[in-house]
Structure 1
Amino acid sequence: MTSTINKSQLSEADIISKFILPSIQGAGWNPMTQIRQEVKLRDGKVIVRGQIAARKKVKSADIVLYHKPSMPLAVVEAKANKHEVGKGMQQGLGYADLLQVPFVFATNGDGYIFHDKTNPSKIETEIRLEDFPSPEALWEKYRSWKGYNDDQMSLVTQDYYDDGSGKSPRYYQMHAINKTIEAVSRGDDRILLVMATGTGKTYTAFQIIWRLWKAQAKKRILFLADRNILVDQTKNNDFQPFGTAMTKIGNRTIDPAFEIHLGLYQAMTGQEEDKKIFKKVSPDFFDLIVVDECHRGSASEDSAWREILEYFSSATQVGLTATPKETDEVSNIEYFGEPVYTYSLKEGIEDGFLAPYKVVRVDLDVDLQGWRPTKGQVDKHGEIITDRIYNQSDFDRTMVIDERTELVAQTITNYLKRTDPMAKTIVFCNDIDHAERMRRAIANCNTEQMGKNEKYVMKITGDDENGKAQLDNFINPKKRYPVIATTSELMTTGVDAKTCKLVVLDSTIKSMTKFKQIIGRGTRIDDKFGKLWFSILDFKKATELFADERFDGTPERVKVTKPEDFDNEDDLNDIVNGTDGTDGDQDSPFGDEDIDPGTIQEPEVPYGNSGTEAGTEGSGQSDPDPVQEEVKKFHVKGVQVTKVAERVQYYDSDGKLVTESFKDYTRKAMAQQFDSLDDFTKKWNDADRKQAIIDELAQQGIIWEALEQEVGKDMDPFDMVCHVVYDQPPLTRKERAENVKKRNYFTKYGETAQQVLNNLLDKYADEGVSEIENIAVLKVAPFSDIGSLPEIIKKGFGGKPEYLEAVNELEAAIYESA
């Protein structure tokens, strides 16, 4: 750190390399294991308008310091020396808040402002470069701040699994893992983690189990799930590193030779005592049980899940869920305790780890107005139709209208044809019968696609072995078919459909738990396959639940009364349909599926009754798919059904749905960047390259293509902003170019330069400012007719600096009126 260096002339990167890193390493921090630079904590929120999406650019923390790779301690935020020493503090505090660390250092290379949450008497102090604290000093302060005792140390500092690929937990996964480990180290034996669908609960569970297993704090571990596909995905993917220490439990015995056991709970339980294989080992056999999707069966006291958990009551039990269930009858919070960590859908979308959605709400006249049969009218089967008004909640539950089914199918088809006919789509129906009729209707609307491959649309439900056999192909991004899956309950949970781009709701949904799970089918992002967002096509007003504060908030306790408490059947129907003030979130008698209010249906197929699909090795158990209660349906044809309205709503920054044009969004985004029109104009005119500002605004989520579609394509980004945001009269690029020509601007240049600049001005009029700022444009016609790029620059302008100066002056002339 020589004094001859003029710090004020150095870039931020130079300040870090020449002053900050030597200072930190000089204090004893290991550059290989304890110092990470340019730590990107978020992916950048995806902004969607129309069929266009863009990611907002996110900044990275300059430096994060770690005790161990699993334990961050401090953030160091640097700025160039021309700034005051504490300039980066507020930015650093934002990163520290995400990482939940108490130490932040802001610096400009002269020294540090040290923000220390562990020192309430003086939170911020100024220290010299040579006085940067050692790793040991910060760790002791951190340990005291966290309240770790000596007995906890080996566990809380146990390393993560590292496969050498550089993959590490995201910041929220790290919090979930660390907080669970801390809870275990304190002796807590019931722990709940709430993480939105698509945020990596299984990977998080793996790292928790790995650390506890490696620290030998837990030696026999059970990962318990209720879907065969969940167990297989877990074993073959995230849990692979356990290798030969891991086994999948069959239906005969639990093998004590293995340490990591993956169990489908149906394979471990049965109606008869001798079928309950979990009782063939002692109650203290497992010392850790991780329950996946614990909002389902484990919350209910009389469920098969709970019987297993209570048998192994001495084990530490960790529940994972995206949707904590809270009613007076059913509570996983009551069983597991308050969540040690929660990461919500809203947080995931804001961070850019989860896909945002747009909602297309479709209103059909028969849904809005209802339908009543004529006196004595019979249905397709000759049954006299009960005389009453049938409304939206009746359709496909007690009343089937063929024309309604066909119109829904045609609307789905039209949407896919407008966007992407090969976009993976899940259509949620009321029941299995509805799913089959919808499959047939969609097939009839897509004869060309069905001709290419008969698996274009398939019914995937618990009763259909052919459909279930295609589930893996549907969720595999590399498999084109099936494209569309019609279902009712089977695919509401546990289906990792990363590339699902369209979720269709033609099912009456009142249950918040079920709604969250269904929306979760689309929230995964897959950059490799271009899946950044998804659409929801809603025919049953199900998306009104987005406006419910419980959609992404704290679960509200709801009174659920047992059927025997009612005086008559009407009272019971009020509860089932959610018309008595409850949300209809009730547990089925099987303890793991919500009754879908308005459909009076339960899991499609009784457990163990859906065929012979092997749930576990030799178990003969099938996945638990909903049982269908027989409901009398009338079936009519010949009713005229039309689409009344269709409106599009987008996910807004506050987590709500808004009907908003992209112009409105742009106004709000610009207001965060510039104080006024003068502020924007000054920055535009001062910029050496206008493209830099265009790119910067695009990184803030302003999608120029979307604006062009709304405003017009012949407008410069500058004029587009001035017009859309500041209500200025718009000028087209051609008008700006003509204004320059009218001023006889080129007369001060020689003949070749005039010709080049005239051509550049025409390029601007046709294609925009980015074209004239790209020197490579001189390689193509009409410039190539004048000469080669070096010849044009030398002959016309005398050299490259003079050429670039002429381009800057041309831009100034273009925007002179600004």
Structure 2
Amino acid sequence: MDKKALSERDICTKFIAPAIAAAGWDIQHQVREEVTFTHGRVIVRGRLHTRGKARRADFVLYHAPNRPIAVIEAKDNTHRPGEGMQQALDYAEALDVPFAFTSNGDGFVLHDRSVDGGKVETHLTLEQFPAPAELWARYCAWRGLDATSAPKAEAPYYDDGSGRAPRYYQVNAINRTVEAVAKGQQRVLLVMATGTGKTYTAFQIIWRLWKSRQAKRILFLADRNILVDQTKNNDFKPFGAAMTKITGRKIDTAYEIYLSLYQAVSGAEEDKNIYKQFSPDFFDLIVVDECHRGSATDDSAWRDILDYFSSATQIGLTATPKETKDVSSTFYFGEPVYTYSLKQGIEDGFLAPYKVVRIDFDRDLQGWRPPQGMLDKHGQPIEDRIYNLRDMDRQLVLEMRTQAVAARITQFLKATDPFTKTIVFCDDIDHAERMRQALVNLNPAQVKANRKYVMRITGDDAEGKAELDNFINPEVRYPVIATTSKLMTTGVDAQTCKLIVLDQHIQSMTEFKQIIGRGTRINEDYGKFWFTIMDFKKATELFADPAFDGEPVQVYAPRDDEPPVPPDELPPDPGHGEPGSPGAVAGLGDPGDAGAFEGEGAEQGAGRKKYVVGRDVTVHIVAERVQYYGPDGKLITESLREYTRHCVAKQFRSMDEFLRRWGSAEQKKAVIDELAALGVLWEPLADEVQAKTGKPLDAFDLICHVAFDQPPLSRRERAEGVKKRNYFGKYQGAARQVLEALLEKYADTGIEPIEDPRILTLPPFDRIGAPLELVKAFGGKAGYEAALRGLERALYG
């Protein structure tokens, strides 16, 4: 056997898999081949999308289901044994395992991440592959698991037989948390971006601890009724009759799993603190959802509950740990045992990327000063000063500004899809109601078809709150547009929301992250792969703050002489609205903590004087800028031309190199996808170039023109050039008709559609003949593909 002639797959089957089996690994239950553990980043092309390359490990070895401990990267025998090590280590770090192996079929190279001070990489023969017990023992030593804690950490996952398995990062989070509890850690913090399945992760953690009897009685604590109900009815459903929701004033201690709204068990008066009906040692485990809120402060009602059950293990879940000089999640819960960020979720393809549309109004930027003695609509004398963006909808309501925002939203929806689920975040309930009215009046046909096309969903409106479930249900069309203030900031699983509108002064990084999280979920069944953020109040400047997607850094330390500020009196986050800065508003705290529960009690901004000015003061858009989410996790703010030049330069050093690659590619789509993966934004680039040149260019000409300064040729100009050269002269009958139709399709839509063989099923090809007949006209599949390549050479020659 010539080993060097074998493919990588053959090496895996004939040499690597047998060596693993010979070492004692159960091939059926402990070894998985070709494990794809990410989806590939969503790459947006206008209204279309594609995906980047998913990450796939050749082998993953498991101690038990959902307990990976090693990865193996295989290469064919023309490579050296350790040649794939950097890739193997990348996968090992992602999967949170200590052992990375590579092999070319001759032997193995092992990189042991658990080694501290010894030899990290060793060469092994095929016969020296480690046994399962050896790797598990070394894994336990790496994790700090001893003879007592290791068996506890092996508690099984819940498996309903449906084939549903946690994603790789959920496995990491679950295993890290269960291991921490097994080792006796009393407080555990888990940080996972919105939309990554924190509740399902919490369920698996609780299930494993409950089934292993490490926690016999458990309390799941949340701050919104909808969060508790969603949890009980969905992810926690397998707990069945062992689970209850605390609703009344009398506690039944016969259950094992308790779900509760924290407000339902505590209050200002002692008789409302019904959690004290439980003995302090009743619960073994407390899980606090959205723990960045009240439990981050020393004197909150949350903390009273946690302190009362201080003997219980306490796990905090959050997408946005709060770290300011006054409050701290990490001071109470400790450093996160695991963090999965928004950036990583987008890179892996589990979360939706976004584009930002920044819109500036003249009155916001230039300011407005009332004429002397002017009265507002309610007869109040308007204070004589200059009002600008920081005042809008708080101190000053310009009715035409509300109208302008609603008009731009309506324009966007009409140009894309009028039934795009949309959340409009406003400053308070009054603002949300005004926005609802403006949107209703601008969409009379839609509202006539269904009056719930636009709904105000705020804490004070029972009918609006009742529509929240319909809004977030992908199968229910109405409501389409929800205007809100704080109620939908967090805990709303809006899977199909494609438009987030920010007409709210956002001073808290925590709240900003939560709001952006409303759009980050992907729902492939309903075509939700990305979303748009429309920003009217410069809130998206927070994207540039390093704290937006960084690791939480504790800056709070308690002092005996300076108690933490209660959550309803928090000052704005440093750098985003400090007192005296343009974003500061006196008396306003962090809405992520105050008034953000069931009733949105703080929304109205009690005590603030607000002037309302009618339609005689006009408002106009003076600037609009579109920014895109780049492959590095940052918004692209430079011009698309310069950005495209940089992307192309990463792949091609010269135009000649690009031309060679384009000419040699069997499918041009491969080159287009390569550049898209590097960040080229094809559709926006095409739109911008067409606006300037008046010509619709395909991908080839876009790159030649933008990256290499070549004169642009439109698709139609290239097609006409082929016709003039009489390319079709050597073809007759159906074959010639097909090629002429392909050329016309190219002129209309570009190169990618004509490379897709399914095009032969579409008009006008279906009128020429059936796909099989059309291919036969070229002498078969090979002849058709050769003719298509010839057409491409004629187009680009």
Letter in 1 for 2:59: I
Q: CA shift at 1:774, angstroms?
A: 6.5
Residue of structure 2 aligned with 1:635, choices 596, 612, 621: 612
Q: CA shift at 1:445, angstroms?
A: 1.3
- Residue deviations 1:408-434 (CA, integer Å, cap 9, x gap): 222222222222221111111121111
Residue of structure 1 aligned with 2:536, choices 517, 529, 539: 539
Unmatched 5+ residue regions in structure 2?
563-568
1:720 corresponds to: 702
1:337 corresponds to: 334
Q: CA shift at 1:114, angstroms?
A: 2.3
1:78 corresponds to: 74
Residue of structure 2 aligned with 1:245, choices 229, 242, 245: 242
- Contact kept, 8 Å, 1:511 with 1:597, in 2: the verdict is no
- Contact kept, 8 Å, 1:438 with 1:486, in 2: the verdict is yes
Farther-moved stretch of structure 1 (333-342 vs 239-248): 333-342
The whole-number CA distance in structure 2 between the counterparts of 1:447 and 1:148 is 65
Farther-moved stretch of structure 1 (380-389 vs 783-792): 783-792
Letter in 2 for 1:183: A
Q: CA shift at 1:810, angstroms?
A: 5.9
1:58 corresponds to: 54
1:94 corresponds to: 90
The whole-number CA distance in structure 1 between the counterparts of 2:593 and 2:14 is 68
Q: CA shift at 1:328, angstroms?
A: 3.4
- Contact kept, 8 Å, 1:61 with 1:75, in 2: the verdict is yes
The whole-number CA distance in structure 1 between the counterparts of 2:180 and 2:763 is 69
- Contact kept, 8 Å, 1:470 with 1:482, in 2: the verdict is yes
Farther-moved stretch of structure 1 (24-33 vs 455-464): 24-33
The whole-number CA distance in structure 2 between the counterparts of 1:494 and 1:354 is 16
Taking structure 1 as reference, are residues 724 and 21 closer, same or farther at Cα in structure 2, changes over 3 Å only?
Answer: farther
1:380 corresponds to: 377
The whole-number CA distance in structure 1 between the counterparts of 2:700 and 2:574 is 55
Farther-moved stretch of structure 1 (477-486 vs 769-778): 769-778
- Contact kept, 8 Å, 2:406 with 2:438, in 1: the verdict is yes
1:35 corresponds to: 31
Q: CA shift at 1:231, angstroms?
A: 0.3
Partner of 2:297: helix, strand, or coil?
coil
- Contact kept, 8 Å, 2:331 with 2:554, in 1: the verdict is no
* Structure 2 counterparts to residues 482-497 of structure 1, below 5 A: 482-497=479-494
Residue of structure 1 aligned with 2:395, choices 385, 388, 398: 398
Farther-moved stretch of structure 1 (283-292 vs 139-148): 139-148
Percent identity of paired positions between Structure 1 and Structure 2:
59
- Residue deviations 1:71-103 (CA, integer Å, cap 9, x gap): 211111122333333332222221111112122
- Structure 1 length-normalised TM: 0.86
* Structure 2 counterparts to residues 796-815 of structure 1, below 5 A: 808=789, 811-812=792-793, 815=796
Is it true that 1:452 corresponds to 2:449 in the alignment?
Answer: yes
Taking structure 1 as reference, are residues 315 and 91 closer, same or farther at Cα in structure 2, changes over 3 Å only?
Answer: same
1:207 corresponds to: 204
Q: CA shift at 1:604, angstroms?
A: 9.7
The whole-number CA distance in structure 2 between the counterparts of 1:11 and 1:303 is 63
* Structure 2 counterparts to residues 403-802 of structure 1, below 5 A: 403-555=400-552, 597-598=584-585, 600-601=587-588, 625-626=601-602, 628=604, 629-637=606-614, 638-660=616-638, 662-697=640-675, 702=680, 704-711=682-689, 715-732=697-714, 759=740, 762=743, 766=747
The whole-number CA distance in structure 1 between the counterparts of 2:491 and 2:772 is 61
Farther-moved stretch of structure 1 (291-300 vs 113-122): 113-122
Letter in 2 for 1:463: D
Partner of 1:649: helix, strand, or coil?
strand
The whole-number CA distance in structure 2 between the counterparts of 1:670 and 1:112 is 37
Taking structure 1 as reference, are residues 662 and 216 closer, same or farther at Cα in structure 2, changes over 3 Å only?
Answer: same
Partner of 1:640: helix, strand, or coil?
coil
- Residue deviations 1:611-665 (CA, integer Å, cap 9, x gap): xxxx9xxxxxx56654642432222212122221111112233433233455545
Farther-moved stretch of structure 1 (658-667 vs 26-35): 658-667
Partner of 1:148: helix, strand, or coil?
coil
Partner of 2:70: helix, strand, or coil?
strand
Residue of structure 1 aligned with 2:184, choices 184, 187, 193: 187
Taking structure 1 as reference, are residues 247 and 689 closer, same or farther at Cα in structure 2, changes over 3 Å only?
Answer: same
Letter in 2 for 1:79: K
2:226 corresponds to: 229
Residue of structure 2 aligned with 1:12, choices 8, 14, 18: 8
1:115 corresponds to: 111
Partner of 2:400: helix, strand, or coil?
helix
Q: CA shift at 1:133, angstroms?
A: 2.1
Farther-moved stretch of structure 1 (75-84 vs 767-776): 767-776
The whole-number CA distance in structure 2 between the counterparts of 1:789 and 1:190 is 64
- Contact kept, 8 Å, 1:56 with 1:700, in 2: the verdict is no
- Residue deviations 1:376-402 (CA, integer Å, cap 9, x gap): 222222222222222222222222222
Farther-moved stretch of structure 1 (14-23 vs 780-789): 780-789
RMSD: 3.6
Unmatched 5+ residue regions in structure 1?
566-574, 586-595, 616-621
Q: CA shift at 1:753, angstroms?
A: 11
The whole-number CA distance in structure 2 between the counterparts of 1:429 and 1:560 is 34
Q: CA shift at 1:290, angstroms?
A: 0.5
Larger Rg: 1
Q: CA shift at 1:56, angstroms?
A: 1.6
Is it true that 1:171 corresponds to 2:168 in the alignment?
Answer: yes
The whole-number CA distance in structure 1 between the counterparts of 2:681 and 2:230 is 37
- Residue deviations 1:143-168 (CA, integer Å, cap 9, x gap): 22222100111221112111222222
Count of aligned residue pairs for this structure pair = 779
The whole-number CA distance in structure 2 between the counterparts of 1:270 and 1:29 is 56
Taking structure 1 as reference, are residues 624 and 292 closer, same or farther at Cα in structure 2, changes over 3 Å only?
Answer: farther
Is it true that 1:289 corresponds to 2:286 in the alignment?
Answer: yes
Farther-moved stretch of structure 1 (667-676 vs 506-515): 667-676
2:261 corresponds to: 264
- Contact kept, 8 Å, 2:458 with 2:600, in 1: the verdict is no
Letter in 1 for 2:99: F
- Residue deviations 1:262-284 (CA, integer Å, cap 9, x gap): 01111111333233211112100
The whole-number CA distance in structure 1 between the counterparts of 2:248 and 2:777 is 85
The whole-number CA distance in structure 2 between the counterparts of 1:480 and 1:354 is 23
Residue of structure 1 aligned with 2:19, choices 17, 23, 48: 23
- Contact kept, 8 Å, 1:225 with 1:231, in 2: the verdict is yes
- Contact kept, 8 Å, 2:293 with 2:592, in 1: the verdict is no
The whole-number CA distance in structure 2 between the counterparts of 1:272 and 1:790 is 79
- Contact kept, 8 Å, 1:559 with 1:582, in 2: the verdict is no
* Structure 2 counterparts to residues 293-332 of structure 1, below 5 A: 293-332=290-329
Partner of 2:27: helix, strand, or coil?
coil
Letter in 2 for 1:658: I
Letter in 2 for 1:255: D
The whole-number CA distance in structure 2 between the counterparts of 1:757 and 1:443 is 50
Farther-moved stretch of structure 1 (37-46 vs 215-224): 37-46
Letter in 1 for 2:70: A
1:47 corresponds to: 43
The whole-number CA distance in structure 1 between the counterparts of 2:664 and 2:260 is 65
- Contact kept, 8 Å, 2:432 with 2:456, in 1: the verdict is yes
The whole-number CA distance in structure 1 between the counterparts of 2:159 and 2:333 is 30
Q: CA shift at 1:518, angstroms?
A: 1.6
Residue of structure 2 aligned with 1:67, choices 41, 63, 77: 63
Partner of 1:422: helix, strand, or coil?
coil
Taking structure 1 as reference, are residues 12 and 694 closer, same or farther at Cα in structure 2, changes over 3 Å only?
Answer: farther
Letter in 2 for 1:191: V
- Contact kept, 8 Å, 1:355 with 1:525, in 2: the verdict is yes
Farther-moved stretch of structure 1 (112-121 vs 360-369): 112-121
- Contact kept, 8 Å, 1:227 with 1:624, in 2: the verdict is no
The whole-number CA distance in structure 1 between the counterparts of 2:368 and 2:21 is 77
Letter in 2 for 1:632: K
